[in-house]
C-alpha cells in the first residue's frame, strides 16, 4: 500500500459503515419493531440499495468519474443517520434505517470501486484497511451511547471526504450510457453467470448478518458479543487480503470458488448446530475462508468480462444485484423461514443454497461460458 491517503480513506469509510452495520439488528429491536416490520425495513433497504446503485453506476460511466457517486452516498448516509438519531417517530426511524442500510452498501461499493480503479494490482491490501475500519467501528459502537455512535459516524465520514477530495482521479472518456449498453451486459452470459454465483454466496452472507444475529439475540447475547462477532470476522479477513496475490497465484479460480462455497455451507451448518453465543462467535471465524476471497473474486471476474466503457456500471450494478438484491431476498426469506421453522432449520436451509453456485459454475465451464482470463485459471492481484 504505497498511498497512505487512499488506505486511510477506505479505513475511515468503513469505520462509519461498521458503526451502523454491526448494531443493525439490535438497533431495530431496541426501537420496538415487530418481526414483520423488521423484515420490511431490511428488505426496503436492500431494494433502495439496488435502485440507487443502478442510478450511480450509470452516472459514473456517463461522467467518466466514480468520486461523485461516493459524495452522493456519503451525503445521504449522513442525512439518514441524523434522521434516525434525532427523530422520535417510529415511521421516520424506519425510513432512516432502511436508508442507512441501502446507502451503506452503495457507499461501500463506491469506495471499493475507487480503490479498484486506482490500485487494481494491490486492491486486496487496501481492502485490509477497510477490514480494520470495520473492526474499529464495530468495537467502538458497542461501547458508545447513541450520541457517541452518531458522532463517530459523522467524524469518520468527514475524514474520508477530506482524504479523497483532492485524490487525482483519472478522468475517463465521457460517454452517454444508453439502455442498449445495459442490455449488452445482460446479454453477456458470462457476466450474468457470475452475478448468479455471487448472488447465492452473498445471500448466505446476509443470512450471517440477519438470521445468525437474530439467533444470538434469542440466546440473550449482549451488544458487545454481537459487535465482537463482526469485529473478529473483519479481523479474519485481513491476512487474506494481505496475501491475496500469493493465494491467487497458488490456487486456480475454480479451486478457490469451490472451496469458498464449500466453507460457506460448512459455516452455516455449524451455525445451526451450536446453541450458545460464544460458539456462534467461534464459528464466525470461518470468515477467513469465505468472504474476503469471494469479494476479490467478484471484482476480478466481473472486470474480466466487461467492456471498458461500462467498467464502473458493471461493478456497481453487479454489486447491486449480488449484494443489494441478495440482501432483500435474505431478509424476506430469513423472516419466513424463522417463522415457519426454528432458527436452526433456517440456517441449515441457507447452508443448502451452496449447491447453486456449484451447479452454475459447473454448467458455465461445461458449455464454454467462461472467458479467456478464466480459462487460464489465474487472476493476478
C-alpha–C-alpha distance, residues 121 and 127, integer Å: 12
Average pLDDT, the chain: 82
Give DSSP secondary structure letters for 334-378: HHHHHHHS-HHHHHHHHHHTTHHHHHHHHHHHHTT-S-HHHHTT-
Mean of the pLDDT values across residues 88-108? 87
Write down the pLDDT at residue 375: 38
Give DSSP secondary structure letters for 220-248: T--HHHHHHHHHHHHHHHHHHHHTHHHHH
Chain-centroid distance of CA 325 in Å reads: 11
Q: Is the pLDDT of residue 46 over 50?
A: yes
Residue of 251, 318, 284, 293 lying closest to 61 (CA atoms)? 318
SS (HEC) of 171-213: CCCCCCCCHHHHHHHHHCHHHHHHHHHHHHHHHHHHHHHCHHH
Question: Which residue would you say has higher pLDDT here, 27 or 340?
Answer: 340
Query: Residue 205: CB partners within 8 Å, gap ≥ 6?
Result: 264, 290, 291, 294, 326
Write down the pLDDT at residue 177: 57
Q: Is the pLDDT of residue 171 over 70?
A: no
Contact 369, 193 (CB under 8 A): yes
Mean of the pLDDT values across residues 206-232? 88
- Give the model's confidence band at 75: pLDDT under 50 very low, under 70 low, under 90 confident, else very high: very high
Question: Which residue would you say has higher pLDDT here, 352 or 113?
Answer: 352
C-alpha–C-alpha distance, residues 365 and 346, integer Å: 31
Contact 201, 357 (CB under 8 A): yes
C-alpha–C-alpha distance, residues 269 and 350, integer Å: 9
pLDDT tens-digit map of 126-139: 888 888 988 888 88
Backbone angles phi, psi at 291, to 5 degrees: -60, -50
Write down the pLDDT at residue 313: 64
Write down the pLDDT at residue 210: 83
Question: Which residue would you say has higher pLDDT here, 269 or 130?
Answer: 269
Write down the pLDDT at residue 373: 41
Contact 200, 357 (CB under 8 A): yes
CA of 146: how far to CAs of 85, 137, 227, in Å?
7, 13, 15
Q: Is the pLDDT of residue 34 over 90?
A: no
pLDDT tens-digit map of 196-217: 999 999 899 888 988 998 899 8
pLDDT-above-90 percentage for the chain: 21
Query: Which residue in the block uniquely carries the three cell numbers 486506482?
Result: 118
**145: which DSSP letter?**
-
- Give the model's confidence band at 140: pLDDT under 50 very low, under 70 low, under 90 confident, else very high: confident
C-alpha cell at 145: 451511547
Mean of the pLDDT values across residues 38-42? 81
Query: In the chain, what's the furthest Cα-to-Cα distance?
Result: 57
Q: Is the pLDDT of residue 189 over 90?
A: no
Mean of the pLDDT values across residues 337-365? 91
Residue of 270, 146, 134 lying closest to 208 (CA atoms)? 270
Write down the pLDDT at residue 372: 40
Question: Which residue would you say has higher pLDDT here, 150 or 234?
Answer: 234
C-alpha cell at 84: 434516525
Residue of 117, 14, 130 lying closest to 66 (CA atoms)? 117
Write down the pLDDT at residue 379: 42
Residue of 200, 73, 96, 85 lying closest to 152 (CA atoms)? 85
Mean pLDDT: which of 49-63, 201-215, 340-354 is highest? 340-354
pLDDT tens-digit map of 286-301: 999 998 899 888 888 8
Q: Is the pLDDT of residue 1 over 60?
A: no
Write down the pLDDT at residue 349: 95
C-alpha–C-alpha distance, residues 366 and 381, integer Å: 26
Query: Which residue in the block uniquely carries the three cell numbers 450458545?
Result: 276
Amino acid at each position: 500500500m504505497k498511498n497512505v491517503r487512499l488506505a486511510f480513506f477506505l479505513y475511515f469509510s468503513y469505520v462509519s459503515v461498521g458503526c451502523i452495520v454491526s448494531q443493525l439488528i439490535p438497533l431495530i429491536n431496541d426501537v420496538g419493531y415487530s418481526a414483520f416490520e423488521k423484515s420490511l425495513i431490511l428488505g426496503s433497504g436492500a431494494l433502495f440499495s439496488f435502485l440507487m446503485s443502478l442510478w450511480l453506476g450509470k452516472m459514473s460511466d456517463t461522467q467518466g468519474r466514480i468520486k461523485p457517486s461516493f459524495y452522493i452516498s456519503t451525503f445521504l448516509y449522513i442525512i439518514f443517520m441524523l434522521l434516525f438519531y434525532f427523530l422520535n417517530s417510529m415511521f421516520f426511524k424506519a425510513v432512516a434505517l432502511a436508508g442507512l442500510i441501502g446507502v451503506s452498501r452503495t457507499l461501500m461499493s463506491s469506495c471499493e470501486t475507487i480503490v479498484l480503479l486506482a490500485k487494481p494490482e494491490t486492491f486486496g491490501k487496501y481492502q485490509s484497511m477497510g477490514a480494520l475500519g470495520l473492526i474499529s467501528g464495530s468495537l467502538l459502537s458497542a461501547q458508545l451511547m447513541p450520541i457517541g455512535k452518531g458522532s463517530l459516524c459523522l467524524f469518520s465520514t468527514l475524514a474520508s471526504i477530506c482524504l479523497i477530495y483532492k485524490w487525482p482521479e483519472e478522468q475517463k472518456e465521457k460517454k452517454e450510457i444508453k439502455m442498449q449498453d445495459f442490455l449488452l451486459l445482460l446479454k453477456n452470459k458470462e457476466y450474468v453467470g457470475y452475478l448468479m454465483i455471487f448472488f447465492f454466496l452473498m445471500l448466505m452472507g446476509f443470512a450471517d448478518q440477519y438470521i445468525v444475529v437474530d439467533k444470538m439475540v434469542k440466546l440473550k447475547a449482549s451488544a458487545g458479543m454481537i459487535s465482537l462477532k463482526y469485529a473478529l470476522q473483519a479481523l479474519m479477513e485481513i491476512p487474506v487480503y494481505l496475501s491475496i496475490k500469493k493465494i491467487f497465484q497458488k490456487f486456480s479460480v475454480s479451486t478457490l470458488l469451490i472451496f469458498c462455497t464449500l466453507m460457506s455451507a460448512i459455516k452455516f451448518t455449524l451455525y445451526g448446530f451450536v446453541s450458545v453465543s460464544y460458539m456462534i462467535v467461534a464459528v464466525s471465524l470461518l470468515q477467513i475462508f469465505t468472504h474476503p476471497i469471494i469479494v476479490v473474486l467478484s471484482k476480478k471476474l466481473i472486470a474480466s468480462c466487461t467492456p471498458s466503457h461500462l467498467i464502473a456500471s458493471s461493478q456497481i450494478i453487479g454489486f447491486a444485484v449480488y449484494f443489494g438484491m441478495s440482501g432483500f431476498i435474505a431478509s424476506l426469506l430469513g423472516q419466513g423461514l424463522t417463522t415457519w421453522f426454528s432458527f436452526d432449520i433456517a440456517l441449515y436451509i441457507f447452508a443448502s443454497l451452496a449447491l447453486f453456485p456449484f451447479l452454475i459454475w459447473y454448467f458455465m465451464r461445461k458449455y464454454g461460458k467462461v472467458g479467456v482470463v478464466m480459462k487460464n485459471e489465474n487472476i493476478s492481484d
